[in-house]
C-alpha cells in the first residue's frame, strides 16, 4: 500500500505505510487517543500522501534502514515535528 496521511480534523498528523486496508483501519483505531491529543471529539481520517509528505516518509524510512533496521519494522512518522520545523524561521 502507498504511504497514507492520517488527519485529525483535516490537519495532517502522521504519514504511515500500512500493508493493507485492515492495517490502516487498525492503526487509526488503536492510535486514536494519541492522534486526537486530548480532543475526544476530533475526527480521524486518512488520504494518500502528497509528494512532500511522501518525501518525509521516505527520508525517515531511509534513516531507519541506514541504522541497520529491517524494512518490515518501519511503519510511519509523525508530521507534527516536520510541520513545525518547516514553519520555524531559519537562522
pLDDT 10s digits, 34-90: 899 889 999 999 999 999 999 999 999 999 999 999 888 888 899 875 444 455 555
- CA 15, CA 7: separation in Å to the nearest integer? 9
Instruction: For residues 13-31, give the mean pLDDT.
Output: 93
Residue 90's pLDDT is 54
Instruction: Give residue limits of the domains in the chain.
Output: 4-87
Residue among 53, 46, 61 nearest 79 (CA): 53
Residue 38's pLDDT is 87
Residue 91's pLDDT is 54
Residue 75's pLDDT is 86
CA 33 to chain centre: 15
Residue 72's pLDDT is 82
Amino acid at each position: 500500500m502507498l504511504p497514507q496521511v492520517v488527519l485529525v480534523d483535516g490537519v495532517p498528523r502522521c504519514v504511515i505505510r500500512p500493508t493493507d486496508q485492515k492495517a490502516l483501519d487498525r492503526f487509526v483505531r488503536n492510535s486514536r487517543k494519541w492522534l486526537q491529543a486530548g480532543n475526544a471529539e476530533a475526527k480521524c481520517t486518512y488520504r494518500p500522501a502528497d509528494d512532500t509528505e511522501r518525501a518525509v516518509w521516505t527520508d525517515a524510512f531511509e534513516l531507519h534502514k541506514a541504522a541497520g533496521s529491517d524494512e518490515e519494522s518501519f511503519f510511519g512518522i509523525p508530521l507534527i515535528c516536520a510541520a513545525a520545523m518547516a514553519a520555524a524561521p531559519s537562522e
